[in-house]
Amino acid sequence: MNTALFRSHRLLINMFNMPKVLLSWKHAQGRSKMELNKTFRALITVAGVVAAMPVFASTLSFSSTAVPGAWQVATNVGGADGQLSSFNTTNFVGATAITARSGWIANNATGTNGGMGTWTFFVFRQTFDLTGYDASTADLKFQWAADDSGEGYAYRGTWVPKFSLNGAGMVPWGSGPTYSYGSVVSLTSGFVSGLNSIDFYVEGNGVSDGFALSTLSFTADPSAVPLPAALPLMLSGLGVLGFALRRKKEEV
């Protein structure tokens, strides 16, 4: 164990035992001035360690599409190509793993709905909770893929896949084919305290359509670090021992 960490650990253990020391402070009045000084310095050290303890980011859960049970999908079969109005944002149901494409999901096990040219519109959603965390520190990193790509030829449609966090502005894929994972996306804003939702808008051509996402990391700082219950008593004890030291000095 790191030496500094070990010392901090010991100091915290002593802090939780401090109420016993403070409750018997009258016995300390009979000690020498040097002993009281040592106790006083120890209390100040522990208080400083507690106040300076860093807040570490926590690892949160955001599931990849390899866990289809974490995702929902709303589907509209037969809408107009390339139109936002063609997407259904209600009537969500559980997403289904595509049997022939590992890690991909759709509204059924094949991703096929009708046949080539039957434009199919999917909204894939995952909801997650940031209660107890500082939403401004949240950082979600992932890669994603979609079928189809919206490149405008060979029945790929004209809708470029996009995503939206909590109903904010849509973020497009970029350019080029979307059938394999693209560059890393890092989301560091737009999160809120409590429940959050991220939606991915994908248009398919009716055959073997779907969506895939790989989560790389998801972290956020706790929203508050509660003080140890013994800390208020310990701080009041500093005043008590300080008073005792002053009395000792006056007696000398």
Domains of the chain: residue spans and CATH: 3-55+232-251 (no CATH), 58-220 (2.60.120)
Residue 163 in contact with residue 151, Cβ under 8 Å?
Answer: no
Q: Report the alpha-carbon distance of residue 80 to residue 88 in Å, rounded.
A: 12
Question: What pLDDT was estimated at residue 3?
Answer: 40
**Strand residues in the chain grouped as ranges (E):** 58-59, 72-77, 93-94, 96-97, 104-106, 120-129, 139-147, 162-165, 171-172, 185-187, 195-204, 210-220
Tell me the three state secondary structure of residue 168. Answer: coil
Q: Is 185 helix (H, G, I), strand (E, B) or coil?
A: strand
Phi then psi for residue 85, to 5 deg, are -65, -15
Q: Which residues of the chain have pLDDT under 50?
A: 1-13, 15-16, 19, 21-23, 25, 49-50
Q: Is 135 helix (H, G, I), strand (E, B) or coil?
A: helix
- Per-residue confidence (pLDDT) for residue 224, from 0 to 100: 72
DSSP SS3 for 221: coil
This prediction has a pTM of: 0.72
At residue 174, the pLDDT reads 80
Amino acid present at 162:
K
pLDDT, position 156: 92
CA distances from 249 to 24, 30, 105, 236, 239 (A): 20, 13, 77, 20, 15
Whether residue 135 contacts residue 220, with contact meaning beta carbons closer than 8 Å, is answered with yes
